[in-house]
């Protein structure tokens, strides 16, 4: 008999199974509110003009297909730091920073989990947000099996708001020194609710007091407000406390529309007032390279060349900023349109949260049964948790979606 005879089928990842059901649905009215990727007003993937121009320029140059260095493309690593931290922090804190190109945001999350478990810190707990991106729990279980996954309250479903008091209370009471905590830098997936600047200040104080190691997942810089600097505010605020040691998992999937190219970076900043900091940062860098070498050798080349071209040239960077406004502006307009339609129909309940939330996703507050009804009766697909991707809403389908929601909640 085969040694694999007891192996069971792995659970198909929920959103991917739903996507398959959506594709198989032949009804012409069908709407995809599952997607974690930007769509234009015609429900099509959007090629950012800045990226199209960068690719055109790259074709004019001499390209090669050699391996990247183990740390990744030096140019890409440099521009990714600049856009994340801003030139002032990079100039001042460069010696305390270790950076490595990764297989996008997922690769950065996995690498930091592995690094913290295997190389030195060995936290007792990783504190993840309840709710969070569906993959975070698995990433930690697979890559850092000896670190215990703990959940802290983040979102109050009934109030459709951040559960800040419960969050602070749980963390104050339960975090141990050197525990690791994860935050979303902006445009929280799936709730669309981020802490205010005042709340970030309080969280930074708590991390200082409890001596926590902080991880920011930055998958949506520029996609929340449309402004790269504003969306990096929380990260830069934490950096302003020299003794908070932190890592940032940076993805360019969403903000450059380079989903399949797997472009990202992991940055880790050590204590900024430790005289030995620069040597420690070098050791971190070296160990990150060592770990990634064993997993994937080095990150892929093409996407990082496109990203370097866009981020590294003033004119293309300006074009990119305007692309970010286009994407975030369309999503904001669709939020308003959906809320307005629901108000017009006098749909029971309050719908202000749709416009108050930010980024690609909305926790609609629809129940599992209502979500099922939407799918069966109206061919509108969203996650069973009620998370809707606002990218699937267009000026053509918004009134159909509103009428369907009205019917399932009335």
| Alpha-carbon distances of 84 from 23, 106, 136, rounded to whole Å | 36, 17, 21
Name the closest residue to ligand PLP (Cβ): 105
- Exactly one of 32, 143, 251, 292 binds ligand PLP (CB under 6 A); that residue is 251
Q: Which residues contact 2 (CB under 8 A, 6 or more apart)?
A: none
The residue from 72, 105, 123, 257 that contacts ligand PLP (CB under 6 A) is 105
Interface size with ligand PLP, residues (CB under 6 A): 13
Element (H, E) at 254: none
CA–CA separation, 371 vs 380, rounded Å?
8
Please identify, among the stretches 6-14, 88-96, 104-112, 293-301, the one whose residues bind ligand PLP according to the rule CB under 6 A: 104-112
From residue 320, give the alpha-carbon distance in Å to each of 48, 196, 227, 264, 314.
Answer: 8, 26, 11, 17, 10
Nearest-approach distance from CB 249 to ligand PLP, in angstroms: 7
For 375, other C-beta atoms within 10 Å of its C-beta total: 20
Local structure of residue 300 (DSSP, 8 states): -
Nearer to ligand PLP, 93 or 106 (CB): 106
| For residue 346, cis peptide bond before it (omega within 30 degrees of 0) | no
The binder of ligand PLP chosen from 39, 81, 160, 184 (CB under 6 A) = 184
Residue 189 in contact with ligand PLP, rule: CB under 6 A: yes
φ/ψ region of 335 (left if φ > 0, alpha if ψ in -120 to 50, else beta) reads alpha
To ligand PLP, the closest distance from the beta carbon of 349 in angstroms equals 27
Tell me the window of 52-60, 99-107, 231-239, 392-400 that interacts with ligand PLP (CB under 6 A).
99-107
Q: Is 261 in the site for ligand PLP (CB under 6 A)?
A: no
> Which of 217, 231, 309, 373 touches ligand PLP by CB under 6 A?
217
Q: Which is nearer to ligand PLP, 89 or 248 (CB)?
A: 248
Please identify, using beta-carbon distances, which residue of 106 and 364 lies nearer to ligand PLP: 106
The span from the CA of 111 to the CA of 133, in Å, is: 17
Between 217 and 341, CB nearer to ligand PLP: 217
Q: Does 102 bind ligand PLP (CB under 6 A)?
A: no
Beta carbon nearer to ligand PLP, 188 or 339: 188
Contact 183, 219 (CB under 8 A): no
328 binds ligand PLP (CB under 6 A): no
Q: How far is the CB of 133 from ligand PLP (least distance, A)?
A: 4
The answer for residues whose C-beta is within 8 angstroms of residue 380's C-beta and 6 or more apart is 30, 31, 33, 374, 401, 404
Block residue for tokens 């866009």: 310
Least spacing, CB of residue 107 vs ligand PLP, in Å: 7
Instruction: Kindly give the residue spans of alpha helices, DSSP state H, lying in 175-301.
Output: 197-210, 228-231, 233-239, 277-296
DSSP 3-state of 394: coil
Distance from C-alpha of 31 to C-alpha of 381, rounded to nearest angstrom: 6
Nearer Cβ to ligand PLP (219/371)? 219
- Which residues inside 32-71 make contact with ligand PLP, applying CB under 6 A? 36
CA 107 to chain centre: 12
Indicate whether 80 belongs to the interface with ligand PLP (CB under 6 A): no
Which one, 262 or 330, has the nearer CB to ligand PLP? 262
Helix (H, G, I), strand (E, B) or coil at 219: coil
Q: Is 341 in the site for ligand PLP (CB under 6 A)?
A: no
For ligand PLP, the binding residue among 195, 264, 386, 392 (CB under 6 A) is 264
In Å, what is the CA distance from 244 to each residue of 121, 236, 274, 281, 341? 14, 11, 12, 14, 46
Q: Does position 292 bind ligand PLP by CB under 6 A? A: no
- Enumerate binding residues for ligand PLP (CB under 6 A): 36, 104-106, 133, 184, 189, 217, 219, 251, 253, 259, 264
């Amino acid at each position: 008999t085969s040694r694999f005879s007891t192996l069971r089928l792995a659970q198909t990842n929920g959103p991917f199974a739903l996507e398959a059901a959506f594709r198989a649905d032949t009804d012409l009215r069908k709407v995809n509110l599952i997607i974690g990727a930007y769509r234009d007003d015609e429900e099509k993937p959007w090629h950012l003009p800045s990226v199209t121009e960068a690719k055109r320029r790259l074709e004019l140059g001499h390209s090669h297909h050699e391996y990247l260095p183990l740390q990744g493309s030096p140019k890409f690593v440099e521009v990714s730091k600049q856009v994340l931290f801003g030139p002032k922090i990079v100039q001042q804190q460069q010696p305390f920073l270790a950076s490595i190109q990764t297989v996008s945001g997922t690769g950065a999350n996995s690498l930091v989990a592995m690094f913290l478990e295997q190389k030195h810190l060995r936290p007792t707990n990783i504190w993840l947000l309840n709710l969070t991106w569906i993959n975070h729990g698995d990433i930690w279980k697979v890559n850092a099996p000896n670190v215990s996954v703990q959940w802290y309250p983040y979102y109050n479903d009934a109030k459709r708001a951040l559960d800040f008091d419960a969050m602070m209370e749980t963390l104050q009471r339960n975090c141990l020194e050197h525990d690791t905590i994860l935050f979303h830098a902006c445009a929280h997936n799936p709730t669309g609710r981020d802490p205010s600047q005042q709340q970030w200040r309080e969280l930074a104080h708590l991390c200082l007091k409890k001596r926590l190691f902080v991880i920011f997942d930055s998958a949506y810089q520029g996609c929340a407000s449309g402004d790269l600097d504003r969306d990096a505010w929380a990260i830069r605020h934490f950096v302003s406390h020299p003794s908070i040691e932190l890592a940032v998992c940076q993805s360019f999937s969403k903000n450059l529309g380079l989903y399949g190219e797997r472009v990202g970076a992991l940055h880790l900043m050590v204590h900024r007032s430790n005289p030995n900091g620069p040597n420690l940062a070098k050791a971190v860098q070296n160990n990150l390279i060592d770990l990634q070498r064993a997993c994937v050798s080095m990150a892929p080349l093409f996407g990082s060349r496109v990203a370097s071209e866009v981020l590294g040239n003033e004119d293309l960077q300006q074009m990119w900023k305007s692309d970010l406004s286009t994407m975030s502006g369309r999503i904001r307009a669709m939020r308003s349109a959906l809320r307005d339609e629901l108000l017009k129909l006098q749909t029971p309940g309050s719908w202000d949260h749709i416009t108050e939330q930010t980024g690609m996703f909305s926790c609609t507050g629809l129940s599992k049964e209502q979500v099922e009804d939407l799918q069966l009766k109206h061919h509108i697909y969203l996650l069973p948790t009620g998370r809707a991707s606002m990218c699937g809403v267009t000026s053509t389908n918004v009134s159909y979606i509103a009428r369907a929601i009205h019917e399932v909640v009335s």
